[in-house]
Structure 1
Amino acid sequence: MKLVTIVLVILFIQPSYSASSPIRPISTKSEHIYGALNAPVSIIMYSDFSCPYCKKLRLTLKKFVNQSSGQVNWVYRHFPLENNSLGYLQQANAIECSGKMYGNESFWALTQNLFNLPNNTPENAQQFITLAAQKSNLNSKELMLCINSNKYQPLIEQDQKEAKELGLTGTPGVVFVNNKNNKIIVKQGALNYANLTKFSRAVVNSPSDDKLK
């Protein structure tokens, strides 16, 4: 898939965002990004481990990005639902800890393994995190120490606040970002491959509005 014809440059310029946009700038240094860092289009997924549709969309997004020839990347952000128990928040903290402690590949590996565990329930969060960490070749004891510190809880809450400001009411929330002109398209639900193609193309050709829905 080729969305636009672009001239490749050596230096990647970080996109700037208009004051009216509730989305914070995508950071290639601190964000969890799957795909080419300099892709002209980013798809931000606001996700929660209690959401079966997030699991479904994750697989579609991975395939879509892999087949985009570097034109699209996927940015993971959190949207823990308010009626969720502490267990799912622990899992959100777990993937943040894995990324900061062991790197981006470990973040995506642990995310995948947590989603793939059968009967993942919040009541057994620590057990599931330990199992997923082992499958991801991570030190589960170190990981649990980081999780219990709640070090990354403010970041998770920041993502949650951002999702609400975008008008999202459930998961998955999906935002298509044109990294050239900062335009966004906001959608909600488990979009299929055709939808991802449609809105990725639309945000490239979007008018001058700051936010489209």
Structure 2
Amino acid sequence: MSDNENKTLPSADATKDTPVAMNRNMLILVGAAIAILCALVAGFFFYLKQPAQSSGEQSAPITFKNKQEFVNAVAEAFDEIVAQRHKQEAQIKLQNYALAPAEPTERNIYGNTQARFSLVEFSDLECPYCKRLHPTPKAIVEGSKGNVNWEWMHLPLDFHNPVARTEAIAAECAGSIGGNRTFWAYIHEVFEQSQGGGRALPDLHGIAASLAVDKDAFATCLAEERFAAKVDEQTRRAATLGISGTPATFVVDNLTGKQELISGARPVQAILAVIAKLKAESEEADPAIAQDPNAAPAAPQAQ
């Protein structure tokens, strides 16, 4: 199923990271900065008028030699508040993808890298059906007790470019700097903030900053399109497999090498049925496989 076949889209789930919540956080942030600014202003004008203290008294309060020194202090205080806020938000977002390796990896895999089954998804960050599917593989992996992992493959569709391709490169940049867990969190944030349909880029630099990714390193990586070759290679790979629409997910039995393609945003039970089918076929072909401790995963518990 390509992402332009179906016209009815589900509404996005409300989350604590919605734009409204983020705006409220920013208001709190600005308020804190203003409070610091007011304190520094008061201190500036008060302490400059105070006589020097003798060596026997308590340490002298902070003073500023001139206006520029004061302005610099305010800017540094504000930057520190922003940095701390981003670190706190980043930890929460990264924890949502705790099953991903923390360090950078060549392949973007969520879950146990030695799992019996893999969900290899070719996806487009501007595709509304990819956004709809996105929570499903994650739920299956988290409910599988290590028996299933999920691998992301880029397939930015031509009619969503250059936006989708640029987002894919940005996600790879974020992951190369912050680690594989950061890659998955970045993907999630792009889906949340993008308008979809290739209409316009979300704030890619802002998303990176919200995940505590070094801003200079990210800006350089994105400007150089450092991962363009990786994104383009995966796009060509999809073409050789006959994939022209997204999302397209291969369910792979890593024990037997057999696989089955699922097109479109299918529900959890549909994907689990394919996993069970592959497992049953392997046991029929080789009864010894039935003794393998890796059982087909049960459906994830409803949240």
C-alpha displacement of 1:85? 2.3
User: In structure 2, do the counterparts of structure 1 residues 157 and 100 end up closer, same or farther at CA, with 3 Å as the change threshold?
Assistant: same
* 8 Å Cα contact 2:177/2:214 also seen in 1: no
Larger radius of gyration: 2
> Which 5+ residue runs of structure 1 have no aligned equivalent?
1-27, 209-213
The residue number in structure 1 matching 2:186 is 110
User: What is the CA distance between 1:33 and its match in structure 2?
Assistant: 0.6
Question: How far apart, in 1, do the equivalents of 2:280 and 2:106 lie?
Answer: 28
Q: CA offset at residue 63 of structure 1?
A: 0.9
1:65 is displaced (CA, Å) by: 0.8
Count of matched residue positions in the alignment of Structure 1 and Structure 2: 180
Tell me which stretches of 4 or more aligned residues in structure 1 moved more than 3 Å. 120-124, 205-208
1:72 and 2:148 are equivalent in the alignment? yes
Superimposed CA distance per residue, residues 109-164 of structure 1 (whole angstroms, 9 cap, x where no aligned partner): 11111111153575642x52123213222233321210121221111111111112
SS at match of 1:94: helix
* Residues 1:139 and 2:217 are matched in the alignment: no
1:164-184 deviations in Å (ceiling 9; x for gaps): 222212000100111112111
C-alpha separation between the residues in 1 aligned to 2:165 and 2:216? 18
Deviation string, structure 1 residues 43-85 (Cα, Å, up to 9, x no partner): 0010111101111111111111100111100000001112222
* Matches for 1:11-30 after TM superposition, within 5 Å: 29-30=105-106
Structure 1 residues 105 and 150, CA gap change in structure 2 (3 angstroms): same
Aligned position for 2:115: 39
Inter-partner Cα distance in structure 1 for 2:138 and 2:121: 11
| CA displacement at 1:199 relative to structure 2 | 1.1
Normalised TM-score (structure 2): 0.56
- TM superposition shift of 1:93: 0.2
Greater CA drift, 64-73 or 109-118: 109-118
Matched letter for residue 145 of structure 1: T
Q: Select the residue among 276, 283, 295 that pairs with 1:201.
A: 276
Task: Name the aligned partner's letter for residue 146 of structure 1.
Answer: C
**TM-aligned CA distance change 1:85 to 1:29, over 3 Å:** closer
Q: Is the 8 A contact 1:120 1:128 kept in 2?
A: no
- Pairing 1:184–2:259 present: yes
Q: Name the structure 2 match of 1:17.
A: none
TM-align CA RMSD: 2.0
- Report the 3-state secondary structure (helix = DSSP H, G, I; strand = E; otherwise coil) of the residue aligned with 2:160: coil
Cα distance 1:54–1:97, how it changes in 2: closer, same or farther (>3 A)?
same
Q: Matched residue of 2:187: which SS?
A: helix
Deviation at 1:31, TM superposition (A): 0.5
Counterparts of residues 58-69 of structure 1 (less than 5 Å): 58-69=134-145
What are the Cα deviations for residues 167-210 of structure 1, in whole angstroms up to 9, with x where unaligned? 212000100111112111112100101111011222333468xx
Structure 2 CA distance for aligned equivalents of residues 186 and 173 of structure 1: 7
- Contact 2:194 2:200 (C-alpha < 8 Å) held by counterparts: no
- If asked which structure has higher relative contact order (CA below 8 Å, sep 6+), I would say 1
Letter of the structure 2 residue corresponding to residue 163 of structure 1: A
Give the letter for the 2:167 counterpart: Q
Q: Which amino acid aligns with 1:169?
A: S
Structure 2 match to 1:48 = 124
Segments of structure 2 that go 5 or more residues without pairing to the other structure are 1-103, 286-303
Identity across the alignment (%):
27
Change (3 A) 1:176 1:137: same
In the superposition, the TM-score normalised over structure 1's length comes to: 0.78
Partner of 1:95: 171
Match of 1:196, SS?
helix
Structure 2 distance, partners of 1:118, 1:102, is 21
